[in-house]
């Protein structure tokens, strides 16, 4: 399956890299809310909706690259493509890349 078929929205510019602060920030990309997390020098992008029951992930807790949902405590490892630490449903993550000082995500 091609990248275009899997990700019909394509690469979207979301923020200037110079504006990214450590921690999480929520941005609107098309009609989706996406959380951008900066952990050290790494940047992750993931859905703002928890796969359990739609909890707001941008209000969760971020420790290293593990984000905890504020509603029922599911924990997602961003370094493992959003895998839930107990094997529950994973968090939707998005590929990122940098270009000309901008952060782009593949929607
Ligand atoms: S809504 Fe996130 S753990 Fe329940």
Output the domain CATH number for residue 83: 2.102.10.10
What is the 3-state secondary structure of the chain? CCHHHHCCCCEEEEEEHHHCCCEEEEEEECCEEEEEEEECCEEEEEECECCCCCCEHHHCEEECCEEECCCCCCEEEHHHCCEECCCCCCCCEECEEEECCEEEEEC
Average pLDDT score over the chain: 92
Atom 4 (ligand 1) nearest CA: 72
Q: Which domain holds residue 36?
A: 3-106
Cβ 53 under 6 angstroms from ligand 1: yes
Cβ 55 under 6 angstroms from ligand 1: yes
Structurally, the chain folds into a number of domains equal to 1
How many Å lie between the centroid of ligand 1 and the Cα of residue 52? 5
**pLDDT digits 0-9 by tens, 54-72:** 999 999 999 999 999 999 9
Is residue 9 very low, low, confident or very high in pLDDT (cuts 50, 70, 90)?
confident
Cβ 75 under 6 angstroms from ligand 1: no
């Amino acid at each position: 399956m091609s990248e275009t078929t899997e990700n019909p929205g394509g690469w979207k510019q979301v923020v200037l890299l110079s504006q990214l602060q450590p921690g999480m920030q929520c941005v609107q990309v098309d009609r989706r809310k996406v959380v951008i997390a900066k952990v050290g020098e790494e940047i992750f992008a993931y859905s703002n909706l928890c796969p359990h029951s739609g909890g707001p992930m941008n209000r969760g807790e971020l420790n290293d690259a593990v984000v905890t949902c504020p509603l029922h405590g599911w924990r997602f490892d961003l370094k493992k493509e959003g895998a839930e630490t107990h094997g529950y449903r994973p968090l939707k993550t998005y590929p990122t890349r940098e270009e000309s000082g901008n952060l782009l995500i593949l929607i």
